[in-house]
A and B are shown apart, each in its own frame.
Chain A
Amino acid sequence: ELKVEQNPLFLSMQEGKNYTIYCNYSTTSDRLYWYRQDPGKSLESLFVLLSNGAVKQEGRLMASLDTKARLSTLHITAAVHDLSATYFCAVDMDTNAGKSTFGDGTTLTVKP
């Protein structure tokens, strides 16, 4: 059974600071996704990481994937209030591609 663990689950940051969210998963996979959810809203895709060493950046967010360590990171640079949201990582199992297993989410609050 694939398990996906995120940490921290809650993160309070000052504007302008940097931080990293970690996503560990338990079985082999080379497809990992990051989603964002605003309170009371749906989820929207941020990044799709499809191979070992993949790195993608969008604005102040950068995601990377290390399939050998079964680890993905979401790095936040110089946080701003607009980044306050819950961030989920999700992993597809190799043998059941198409079924994404989600982590419990990291709720980020950026304070002025």
Chain B
Amino acid sequence: NAGVTQTPKFQVLKTGQSMTLQCAQDMNHNSMYWYRQDPGMGLRLIYYSASEGTTDKGEVPNGYNVSRLNKREFSLRLESAAPSQTSVYFCASRWRFGNFGELFFGEGSRLTVL
């Protein structure tokens, strides 16, 4: 079982460039999440999708957009990258929004914006 798969694993961008991080899960989970992790800090929620067809802002949504393409896939787009977006991005999923289940995480995508 692959679980949660993220691509790419590493990316270097120049300021102002755009890119999309892809995430797919094969666990039939309903809810999907994008978090960012900065050095010495916990994870901060960027956007989430409680179920297919819905998306909502998290704690730090500015500069990002998301698309819940179908039940399996949830992408994160940076339209005009800034150095402050240098971070490690984690996609996660859980069985059902509001269910008492833990998050399952992808391997992370390490993004550097120059």
Contact = CB atoms under 8 A, between A and B. Distances in A.
Interface stretch (A66-74, A76-84, A100-108): A100-108
Nearest to A104: B42
B40 A43 contact: no
B2 to A, nearest CB: 13
Given A97-B98, A98-B97, A99-B48, A88 B43 contact: yes
Nearest to A100: B103
Nearest to A45: B102
A45 B40 contact: no
B74 interface: no
Chain A's interface size range is: 20 to 34
Interface in B94-110: 94, 97-108
A33 B58 contact: no
A42 B90 contact: yes
B103 A105 contact: no
B58 to A, nearest CB: 7
Contact of B102 (A4, A33, A105): A33
Interface residues of B, number: 27
Contact of A97 (B90, B97, B104, B108): B97
A50 B90 contact: no
B78 interface: no
Contact of A98 (B94, B105, B106): B94
Contacts of A33: 102-103
Contacts of A45: 102-104
Interface string B12-23: 000000000000
A110 interface: no
A4 B42 CA distance: 10
Interface of A: 4, 9, 31, 33, 35, 41-45, 48, 50, 88, 90, 97-105
Given A35-B103, A98-B94, 9 more contacts: A42-B90, A98-B48, A98-B99, A100-B45, A101-B59, A102-B44, A104-B40, A104-B41, A105-B41
Interface of B: 31, 33, 35, 40-45, 48, 50, 58-59, 90, 94, 97-108
